[in-house]
Amino acid sequence: MPEPSRPRLVLATRNAGKLRELRELLRGQVPGLDVDTQVVDAAAVGAPDVVESGVTFEENALLKAEQTARATGLLAVADDSGLAVDVLGGAPGIFSARWAGRHGDDAANLDLLLAQLADIPQERRGAAFVCAAALAHPDGGPAGYTERGELRGSLLTAPRGAGGFGYDPILVPEGLDRTCAELAPEEKNAISHRGIAFRALLPHLVEALQ
């Protein structure tokens, strides 16, 4: 059994919000895994940035997982996620994090999307958060796994709520009257696209860590 402080799993992200969410999803699910010390992000182990050259969420997730696993010698998990807006034909999609031109500028991305949808009536503002999660081994085998999750809802005309990140303040999940940014973390994790994808990936991850 590795020392508790030695990383066993790297999440191929530098997004603190994603790391926090994924640690909570894994907490207590993998025997012997201390998620607070043994699940780390790419920065903690000096993993290089990966060019997201894929054209689907699945391709990008697997690219990030495989390259991070090879670079660190650790089991690696990655996700690629974004917002697919019905009237935009599925955009921003894989470009969600850089929709306004600069990667990770949540405020600018939100402002641009809301401006683009300004004249769209509420009944036509359907959208879905989409996530592909991938698992890769440092030795290249067995073959990487990918799983997909979606959370459908509708988009508001202005942000609401202080939690979450990204487009969370404008998406109200189907059946609810609060945005993802207004949900408690445990509520969001129970229904989120990322939660669905990572729970589907969990059996493969547990097997790989045993």
The CATH number assigned to the domain holding 48 equals 3.90.950.10
Band of pLDDT at residue 45, cut at 50, 70 and 90: very high
User: Assign residue 166 a region: left if phi > 0, alpha if psi is -120 to 50, beta otherwise?
Assistant: left
Q: Which residue is associated with the tokens 């999307």?
A: 113
**CA distance linking residue 144 with residue 135, whole number of Å:** 5
Q: How many structural domains does the chain have?
A: 1
Inside any domain, residue 56: yes
Inside any domain, residue 2: no
**CA distance linking residue 8 with residue 48, whole number of Å:** 18
**CA distance linking residue 80 with residue 196, whole number of Å:** 13
Inside any domain, residue 152: yes
- Catalytic residue, from 80, 86, 168, 177: name it: 80
9-11 vs 126-136, strand pairing mode: unpaired
User: Smallest Cα–Cα separation from 83: which of 169, 200, 199, 201?
Assistant: 169
The span from the first CA to the last CA of the chain, in angstroms, equals 10
Residue 2 has pLDDT above 50, yes or no: no
**CA distance linking residue 199 with residue 210, whole number of Å:** 17
Inside any domain, residue 1: no
Range of the domain at 72: 9-209
Q: Please state which of the ranges 1-10, 92-101, 135-144 shows the lowest mean pLDDT.
A: 1-10
Inside any domain, residue 3: no
Inside any domain, residue 74: yes
Tokens describing residue 196:
């669905």
Q: Please state which of the ranges 28-37, 86-95, 181-190 shows the lowest mean pLDDT.
A: 28-37
Inside any domain, residue 23: yes
Inside any domain, residue 125: yes
Band of pLDDT at residue 1, cut at 50, 70 and 90: very low
CA atoms within 13 A on the CB side of 117: 27
The reply to whether 36 belongs to the active site is no
